[in-house]
Amino acid sequence: MLNRCGCKPSEIVIFVCAGGENVGQIAYNSALSITKRGKATTYCLIGIGAHVPGIVKLAKSAKKVIAVDGCQSSCSKKTLKHAGVKIHDHIIVTNEGIVKKEHASDITKNDIEKIRVIIESKFE
């Protein structure tokens, strides 16, 4: 079993609790959009929770760590704190006027774009 990560260091890293409902999927898709644009790197939150040494080390060495959660449970933030990773910014999708719904498929491009812009505003 490998106990390391193939990730490379990044100045800005985003950890997202993707959840099973719409707000988690909005958060996740927003972070992926940013990663595809090359503006930051989305890392594996479950790797932090599993205390995979390479992922934790890279998270701790990042210039900026942004935790993004779909709802008030703040699973991403709590997981990072539990692993001793310093969080520079924390975004909760439901705090941005998007209502939590049961179905993960109930997401819109407008909601993804709205959260992407909010995440990117934290880069400076």
Nearest CA to 42 among 51, 23, 55, 54?
A: 55
Q: Quick check: is 1 in a domain?
A: no
Q: Quick check: is 4 in a domain?
A: no
pTM of the model as a whole:
0.90
Q: Quick check: is 27 in a domain?
A: yes
Q: Quick check: is 19 in a domain?
A: yes
Q: Quick check: is 78 in a domain?
A: yes
**What is the tens place of the pLDDT at every residue in 49-90?**
999 999 999 999 999 999 999 999 999 999 999 999 999 999
pLDDT at 124: 77
Nearest CA to 33 among 24, 42, 23?
A: 42
Q: What is the CATH number of the domain that holds 99?
A: 3.40.50
Domain count of the chain? 1
Q: Quick check: is 43 in a domain?
A: yes
With vertex at residue 29, the alpha carbon angle to CA 28 and CA 31, rounded to the nearest 5 degrees, is 65
Q: Name the residue range of residue 60's domain.
A: 12-120
Q: Quick check: is 115 in a domain?
A: yes
Q: Quick check: is 5 in a domain?
A: no
**What is the tens place of the pLDDT at every residue in 6-45?**
555 568 999 999 888 999 999 999 999 999 999 999 999 9
